[in-house]
Amino acid sequence: MRCLCPKCSTNIELDIYDLPEEGSFNKCPECNSGYVVKKVSFASRALHKDAEITCVECGNNPGTSVYCHECHAIYPDFYITESSSAAKKQFNKFIGSFSRFNKLSAKHTSTTQYTDYGIKSTAGTKGLKLPSQPAQIAAILAIIILVIGAGGYFLYQDRIETKYAERYVRALFGIKSATDLDMKICNRILTEWQSTMAPNPPKATRSESASMASASKDVSSMVKDIGEPPTKFAASNEHINKIFAAYTKIHTFAANPSGSITSYTATVKQLDDEFKNSARLLKAGLPEKISDKLIESKKKYKPLQDF
């Protein structure tokens, strides 16, 4: 077949049957420039100049129609002759087109679903533009900071809740111990009063009064030391305030007994029932962290067994 050098247009004779399918690289005998001869399908005919192509069937120029003017082959493949630099440009152009296609595909994807009623095509979502490398690093750092901050916050919250639970159970122990002391003194006064049948109730001894005063001071300090509750412990804080109020009534009555034997007996029972009812409500509404701490403390402190 005859082809033209892409650079100097010298006529070059090549054996069409010696050309490999993947094409070949050759040197022009006149200008010594490199050129490429390769096989191309008819579909790419419009991309090339008429002088660049040669019919693969007969080695002649196939013309511009759908068949070769010489051998009349329909839609013939053809050989193209171009400089090596032009071939590289064409290759790069092809790669560039493929890359742009990939980008478009990433932005507009579609999926096909096979259903009982046929095929359903669903348009995909538009792709997101990836940030540049510095932006990616900044985003990763921001995420790390957020994770560390969140972890630190949760650790801080857990520490606050644990401290609150410890102080809560400690105050509960103080209230129960002081209540037991006051009820013991009330029962002692009632027993003595019933034995003497005196018109006025007996008073607490100096030792008993000192013990009650000391216990009351400690309990008040413990309750105050609980502090502001975490949000999820708000209900439990109300319960311990109620049981503290019930204790305060018992303490006041034990320190200053009054009334008749009958009214005194009824009041002691009423105050005891009120305290026990407050204790039941408190126990029923304890959060898990306080409940766990209470169970642990019951093993060491007997007064807490009633909770």
* pLDDT at position 12: 80
* pLDDT at position 142: 80
Taking every pair of C-alpha atoms in the chain, what is the biggest distance, in angstroms?
145
10-residue stretch averages of pLDDT, the chain, 307 residues long: 78 75 78 79 59 68 68 67 60 51 46 43 46 71 78 78 89 93 94 91 92 93 89 87 94 92 93 93 87 86 79
Contact 26, 45 (CB under 8 A): no
Q: Report the C-alpha gap between 57 and 17 in whole angstroms.
A: 10
The backbone torsions φ and ψ at residue 62, rounded to the nearest 5 degrees and listed phi first, read -80, -10
How many angstroms from the chain centroid is the CA of residue 199? Answer: 73
253-304, pLDDT tens digit by residue? 999 999 999 999 999 999 999 999 999 998 888 888 888 888 888 887 888 8
Record the tokens describing residue 35, joined without a space: 């050129």
Sequence-distant (6+) residues with CB within 8 A of 71 are 55, 57, 58, 60
Over pLDDT 70: what percentage of the chain?
Answer: 70
148-178, pLDDT tens digit by residue? 777 776 787 788 888 888 999 999 999 999 9
Q: Which helix (H) or strand (E) holds 268?
A: helix 261-284
Q: Report the C-alpha gap between 78 and 44 in whole angstroms.
A: 9
Q: Residue for token digits 């013990």?
A: 211
How many DSSP H helices and E strands does the chain contain?
Answer: 6, 8
Q: Report the C-alpha gap between 20 and 41 in whole angstroms.
A: 15
How many angstroms from the chain centroid is the CA of residue 31? Answer: 69
* pLDDT at position 230: 85
Name residue 69's amino acid.
H
CB atoms within 10 A of CB 176: 22
Contact 14, 3 (CB under 8 A): yes
Evaluate if pTM is beyond 0.75.
Answer: no
* pLDDT at position 216: 94
- Residue 37: strand, helix, or coil: strand
